[in-house]
Amino acid sequence: MPDVRRWEEGDQWVEIDLDLCSGAGQCVESCPSDVYKVEDGKVDAESIAECIGCAACQDVCPNGAILSHWAWD
């Protein structure tokens, strides 16, 4: 079973498959809202409340480890 972590805030949620995450940090660099940080070689999304739903993180992840969703998607 994959090691998937989920962060939620209101109608927004982000899931990161930690098995796929290499901690490369493209999501950190691309996020205009500073939602992500790399900690212990994996991405963390503790600031999910700041997410604006642009999905830049999902688009740049080289391993497809991030799934971002708004309730109206």
- Specify the number of domains making up the chain: 1
CA distances (Å), origin 1, targets 17, 18, 25, 46, 61: 11, 11, 24, 23, 21
Sign of CA dihedral 59, 64, 70, 72: positive
**What is the span of the domain harbouring residue 12?**
4-70
Residue 58 sits in a domain whose CATH number is 3.30.70.20
Question: What residue type is 63 in one-letter code?
Answer: N
What is the model's pLDDT at position 43? 94
User: pLDDT for 10-62, tens place per residue?
Assistant: 888 899 999 999 999 999 999 999 999 999 999 999 899 999 889 999 999 99
| Measured distance CA(20)–CA(66) in Å, rounded | 9
What is the model's pLDDT at position 1? 80
Residue 7 binned pLDDT confidence (cut-offs 50, 70, 90)? very high
What is the model's pLDDT at position 70? 67
